[in-house]
Amino acid sequence: MEKSCSLLVHFDKGTPALANEIMEALEGNDAGAKIEALKKAIMLLLNGETIPQLFITIIRYVLPSEDHTVQKLLLLYLEIIDKTDSRGKVLPEMILICQNLRNNLQHPNEYIRGVTLRFLCRLNESEIIEPLIPSILSNLEHRHPFVRRNAVLAVMSVYKLPQGEQLLDSAPEIVEKFLSSEQDPSSKRNAFLMLFSCAQDRAINYLFTNIDRINDWGEQLQMIVLELIRKVCRTNKGEKGKYIKIIISLLTAPSTAVIYECASTLVSLSSAPTAIRAAASTYCQLLLSQSDNNVKLIVLDRLNELKSSNREIMVEMVMDVLRALSSPNLDIRRKTIDIALELITPRNIDEVVLMLKKEVVKTQNGEQEKNGEYRQMLVQAIHSCAVKFPEVASTVVHLLMDFLGDTNVASAMDVVIFVREIIETNPKLRISIITRLLDTFYQIRAARVCSCALWIIGEYCLSLSEVESGIATIKQCLGDLPFYTVSEEGEGGQDASRTTQQVNSTTVSSRRPAILADGTYATQSAALETAMSPPTLVQGPLSSVGNLRSLILSGDFFLGAVVACTLTKLVLRLEEVQTSKVEVNKATSQALLIMVSMLQLGQSSVLPHPIDNDSHDRIVLCIRLLCNTGDEIRKIWLQSCRQSFVKMLADKQRRETEEIKAKAQISNAQPDDLIDFYHLKSRKGMSQLELEDEVQDDLKRATGEFTKDADDANKLNRILQLTGFSDPVYAEAYVTVHHYDIVLDVTVINRTKETLQNLCLELATMGDLKLVERLQNYTLAPESSKQIKANIKVSSTETGVIFGNIVYETSSNVLERTVIVLNDIHIDIMDYISPASCADVAFRTMWAEFEWENKVAVNTVIQDERDFLNHIIKSTNMKCLTPPSALEGDCGFLAANLYAKSVFGEDALVNVSIEKQSDGKLSGYIRIRSKTQGIALSLGDKITLKQKGAA
């Protein structure tokens, strides 16, 4: 579409209507046939056909028609036909339609008047409109509001024409008079819009004259008032105070759209605590009153923005925000919890935790879907609260321990990890947690949760009674020994032929490569269980047996190794706290019997696959240790494990503190900035709100929040040369990427001595890029320049290419078109992705699920592993999830996980595994995984390009 038009209709060009058929139908008396013929004519015209002979037929046979549909279609036809010649002068035959338009404007039917007035809003030819002005003005006094509201719009469009002020110089005065007496809300809105657009002073005058009645105005008019206020305050910041009072008064309006706009306007115009508090309160009110989930998500986004700039005020609103948890939607709940967790202070922590506890209790009934996921979010939130404020841990830890047996394994894992951290950081709670854990251990049904709980029992059972209870609990959950009888093994041997296929399939799945927390691959089934396997649950008839016994009998020998280690620690500790040697020997022999039984089970044919080597070695080590204990070994098992855990917690806390510090960007003012002394200002006639606003503005100015650093060097990097210096037309583009949009600001310079006519920038795209509009033609004078803007939509994170050419005609030879091919513009993936964080478990889950992998071999001149990793992080704009402590040391090998998220919500996972060769060079692979092919390929290309050296 080269011409602007208000009408767009789908048309199948495969069956074009003939002009003769259309003319015959129009000349007939059948109204239905005329309507169909007019529709066909309009569609042909919209799709580039020209039917000049049709105009006179329409004037003769269609203009006199009284049918409303015919008249409506006639106006659409008149809108799209060419009304001017090649020199821009109105065609003489257009005078024929003026009389018809005048008759329509004086028609007794209000619908005909209304649609004709609306048609006039889209006419740009002043020669056609001029004779109709008296009729337009007379319609301002028509009895029907439909006519009046369209008449006001027609007056506005006439006044906005290039010669509009000469055609209708008294328009603002007429509309102001009309506004003062009008009662219809839509007509008042249109009249105020006209004053707002064309005579702003009169609009402001009317606003302040009727300031007491603003709350009684209609929703549409109130929205225009807010738009006027935004416009005025941007140009004249000194008068902000009196307008803010109007906005605050509109916060009580019955329309939710007006309330939302008021809150947004308040936040954009004022930094006064009173104004921000009013806006935040309004958002919270909308959050509860609106049932639409999309509205709730938008409001939560606004609250999130407020939180970053006005945290102190938002802290007061945290309980109001948390009321949004009543929504069953998980996205809303997640966003609500994320906002609330950043607003926790010592004053409100108790209330917040109490609210979260109530929500956890609610998840126990199975009425709502996804209760398990919601419970997991709540457990993580409570964990975060307890880490920040350890004193609240005692109020929640026992409640959460009821969920150790949760069927949602992820939720149960979060609970047990929380308990593990709390028992270390809160020594006062150790005894009660251990007692509760031993009481509820039999309820745990997931292998991973059992492993973590056993580690806690082994490390934190310190007194004699606790150690004895720990051993007794494990024995009870393992059941009677042995794990199988000889007859069972015989049966297992007889059935071997039938289960061969099952054994093979199980073995294959258990040997699948798994990615560990440090990014390395492993094939042991023990590693598989901990890293990637689906969670093992006790189900069916086995659930009546002890949970540990059931899991071990299902072939989980990694858990068996954990049981052996826990028993070893408990027996070693029993030696320290138990005076009776007999009791110690008895416990040792029982522990050894259990371990030997597990080894026998692993090597028997009862189970489909034998024990893995790693678990076998660990159990054998425990047996040797119990048979021959030494002080050094005892110290390693009873002290070093705990010390490592304490070190891990300290490292985690340090990293979180550093991240918080990095986020708190402090903006500083320049030393030569003006200082505005608040106390020396005149306060005459200023309300408290205006004073607050002034103070906040001064503070922002003083701390440098008003100054935006323009990175000029970065801007220069984004300028791309499109043509050569010797080309007759020189072009360069400045590329701006706004998430979903790319704006190309192209400067075109005519370097010749001739005028270039019909110069057009023709662009095409490759990848998930789409041109929004077709660019118009220009005429360039000799040695002059032109700025051309092109908008391109982006729909996914993929490296796209924009290519094209410049086409023009010279004044000396109009028939010959010259084409200059432009350089390609490559849109970089780095503009779309940003560093992000995710938990190790989530990373490994995504790594297993994502189907697209791009494997890039390391080829670089960098010789230090850490330097190479930092270079890749910088080049790919990703975040390293592997903690610095795990990357320390000089072992010649490095494995790290990197993560980033795109603006479209796509995840990008990268695993770097490199090794230093004997010649000092680095070798290895960088693996990229994502859900979509584009991001994997684009990141791979980027890494291949950048990995060579530290450029």
Which CATH number characterizes residue 819's domain?
2.60.40.1480
Alpha-carbon gap, residue 792 to 741, rounded angstroms: 6
Of 483-487, 522-526, 779-783, the least confident: 522-526
Number of domain units in the chain:
2
785 with 862, same domain: the answer is: no
Burial 754-765 (b: 16+ CB within 10 A, else e): bbbeebbbebeb
Alpha-carbon gap, residue 748 to 788, rounded angstroms: 8
Mean pLDDT within 284-290: 88
| pLDDT value of position 514 | 53
638 within some domain: no
Alpha-carbon gap, residue 885 to 196, rounded angstroms: 62
761 with 803, same domain: the answer is: yes
Give the residues across from 827 on adjacent strands.
Answer: 800
822 with 769, same domain: the answer is: yes
**Token output for 359:** 């929500």
**Token output for 333:** 């709940």
Of residues 653 and 159, the one with the higher pLDDT is 159
16-49 per-position pLDDT tens digit: 557 777 887 888 888 888 888 888 888 777 766 7
> Cα angle vertex 603, ends 600, 608, to 5°?
120
Among candidate residues 288, 400, 408, the one with its CA nearest the CA of residue 336: 288
790 within some domain: yes
- Count CB atoms within 10 A of the CB of residue 781: 11
Whether the Cβ atoms of residue 401 and residue 383 lie closer than 8 Å to each other:
no
679 within some domain: no
220-264 per-position pLDDT tens digit: 888 888 888 888 887 777 677 778 788 888 888 888 888 898 888
In 3-state terms the chain splits into helix, strand, coil percentages (rounded to 5) of 60, 10, 30
835 with 938, same domain: the answer is: yes
Q: Is the peptide bond before 482 cis (omega within 30 degrees of 0)?
A: yes
Whether the Cβ atoms of residue 442 and residue 553 lie closer than 8 Å to each other:
no
766 within some domain: yes
- Count CB atoms within 10 A of the CB of residue 616: 19
Alpha-carbon gap, residue 393 to 580, rounded angstroms: 37
Among candidate residues 600, 583, 591, 647, the one with its CA nearest the CA of residue 623: 591
Alpha-carbon gap, residue 400 to 385, rounded angstroms: 14
Whether the Cβ atoms of residue 59 and residue 77 lie closer than 8 Å to each other:
no
836 with 943, same domain: the answer is: yes
819-849 per-position pLDDT tens digit: 999 998 887 777 778 888 887 878 888 898 8
817 with 753, same domain: the answer is: yes
859 with 915, same domain: the answer is: yes
Burial of 743 by CB count in 10 Å (0-12 exposed, 13-18 middle, 19+ buried)? middle
Burial 1-30 (b: 16+ CB within 10 A, else e): eeeeeeeeeebeeeeebebeebbebbeeee
Q: Measure the N-to-C terminal CA separation of the chain; round to a whole number of Å.
A: 46
**Token output for 433:** 């947690």
pLDDT band at 927 (very low <50, low <70, confident <90, very high): very high
Whether the Cβ atoms of residue 615 and residue 558 lie closer than 8 Å to each other:
yes
Of 128-142, 267-281, 676-690, 777-791, the least confident: 676-690
171-181 and 185-198 are packed helices; what angle lies between their axes, rounded to 10 degrees?
A: 150
| pLDDT value of position 951 | 42
Mean pLDDT within 799-820: 81
- pLDDT of residue 434 exceeding 60, the answer is yes
Mean pLDDT within 889-898: 85
- Count CB atoms within 10 A of the CB of residue 747: 15
| pLDDT value of position 684 | 52
Q: Which residues, including other chains, have CB under 8 Å from residue 145's CB and lie 6 or more apart? A: 184, 186, 187
Of residues 66 and 910, the one with the higher pLDDT is 910
380-402 per-position pLDDT tens digit: 888 888 878 878 877 888 777 87
725 within some domain: yes
- pLDDT of residue 70 exceeding 80, the answer is yes
Beta strand residue intervals within 19-110, DSSP E: none
Alpha-carbon gap, residue 653 to 871, rounded angstroms: 26
Among candidate residues 629, 595, 632, the one with its CA nearest the CA of residue 615: 595
- pLDDT of residue 324 exceeding 60, the answer is yes
Write down the pTM of the prediction: 0.67
539-583 per-position pLDDT tens digit: 434 344 677 888 888 888 899 999 999 999 888 888 888 788 888
**Token output for 234:** 């941007």
Tell me if residue 916 falls in helix, strand or coil: strand
pLDDT band at 664 (very low <50, low <70, confident <90, very high): low
894 within some domain: yes
Of 152-161, 268-277, 317-326, the least confident: 268-277
Tell me if residue 758 falls in helix, strand or coil: strand
**Token output for 720:** 């791309």
Tell me if residue 756 falls in helix, strand or coil: strand
Average pLDDT, the chain: 79
Q: Which of 788, 806, 827 is the last residue of a domain?
A: 827
811 within some domain: yes
Whether the Cβ atoms of residue 26 and residue 34 lie closer than 8 Å to each other:
yes
Of residues 214 and 915, the one with the higher pLDDT is 915
Report the largest interatomic distance among the alpha carbons of the chain, rounded to a whole angstrom: 121
731 with 821, same domain: the answer is: yes
845 with 815, same domain: the answer is: no
- Count CB atoms within 10 A of the CB of residue 821: 12
> Cα angle vertex 104, ends 100, 106, to 5°?
120
Mean pLDDT within 406-419: 81
Give the residues across from 826 on adjacent strands.
Answer: 801
pLDDT band at 306 (very low <50, low <70, confident <90, very high): confident
Among candidate residues 124, 185, 202, 210, the one with its CA nearest the CA of residue 160: 124
Mean pLDDT within 316-328: 88
753 with 856, same domain: the answer is: no
821 with 836, same domain: the answer is: no
Range of the domain at 907: 831-947
User: For the range 235-243, what are the long-range contacts, defined as Cβ-Cβ under 8 Å and sequence gap of 24 or more?
Assistant: 240/269, 240/270, 240/690, 240/693, 241/686, 241/687, 241/689, 241/690, 241/693, 242/690, 243/269
730 with 817, same domain: the answer is: yes
Alpha-carbon gap, residue 801 to 601, rounded angstroms: 62
809 within some domain: yes
- pLDDT of residue 731 exceeding 90, the answer is yes
- pLDDT of residue 935 exceeding 90, the answer is no
Give the residues across from 738 on adjacent strands.
Answer: 741
672-720 per-position pLDDT tens digit: 555 555 555 555 555 555 555 566 665 555 554 444 444 455 566 678 8
| pLDDT value of position 747 | 92
Q: Which CATH number goes with the domain that contains 913?
A: 3.30.310.10
